[in-house]
Amino acid sequence: RKVIVVNGPNLGRLGVRQPDVYGRQDLETLRRECGAWGRELGLEVEVRQSDDEAEMIGWMHQAVDEGTPVVMNPAAFTHYSYGLSDAAHMIGDAGLPLIEVHISNPSARDAFRKYSVISPVATATITGMGLYGYKLALEAVAHLLDQA
Ligand code: DQA
């Protein structure tokens, strides 16, 4: 079964952007690791990244139409994109898992990071576990699909 792993703005800079917060591994490494983790779980994982809110919203519509579960790190959109939140809402409405991932623990950081407009519409949220959080998210998707 296909699963998309969607990453929001500035996550294309993984590895060079605030490595003290986000680590030294880049997006290509995350892509490889998610592929390997997915294979262990019998999932075909496609990792995407965009700095464009409209493109990310389009990916949600496509996931709903195709019945594809979503792992999402909405990055800064987490904190203010009602458009992405509404699109993410439709994933749950379609009965599909939506696991929100944050590499850091946003609630331990700036005040503006303490609220997520995505969490209320996510099946679950994983924070503060670095890139390993994506592995946990894929395991959660596999678990939820097994139960369905
Ligand atoms: C992030 C946390 C967000 O607050 C931030 O805007 C990001 C990354 C994380 O993975 O920890 O870009 O989503």
Interface predicted TM-score (ipTM): 0.99
Residues spanned by the domain of 19: 2-147
Residues enclosing ligand 1, CB less than 6 A?
10, 73, 75-76, 78, 102-104, 106, 113
148: pLDDT strictly greater than 90:
no
Residues in the chain: 148
Domain CATH number, residue 60: 3.40.50.9100
pLDDT tens for each residue of 74-85:
999 999 999 999
When pLDDT is averaged across residues 37-57 and rounded to a whole number, the result is 98
Pick the residue whose CA is nearest to atom 2 on ligand 1.
75
pLDDT tens for each residue of 107-147:
999 999 999 999 999 999 999 999 999 999 999 999 999 99
Domain count across the chain: 1
102 in active site: yes
From ligand 1's centre to the CA of 75, what distance in Å?
4
CB neighbour list of residue 37: distance below 8 Å, 6 or more residues apart: 45, 134, 135, 138, 139
Q: How many CB atoms lie within 10 A of CB 67?
A: 11
Active-site residue, from 61, 89, 102, 134 = 102
From ligand 1's centre to the CA of 73, what distance in Å?
7
Q: Token pair of 114, please? A: 């303490």
Mean pLDDT (the chain, rounded): 97
pLDDT tens for each residue of 55-69:
999 999 999 999 999
Residue 115 DSSP one-character state: -
From ligand 1's centre to the CA of 11, what distance in Å?
8
Let me know: does 76 contact 60? Beta carbons within 8 Å. Answer: no
Angle at 53 between CA 144 and CA 98, to 5 degrees: 5
Pick the residue whose CA is nearest to atom 7 on ligand 1.
75
Amino acid residing at 20:
D
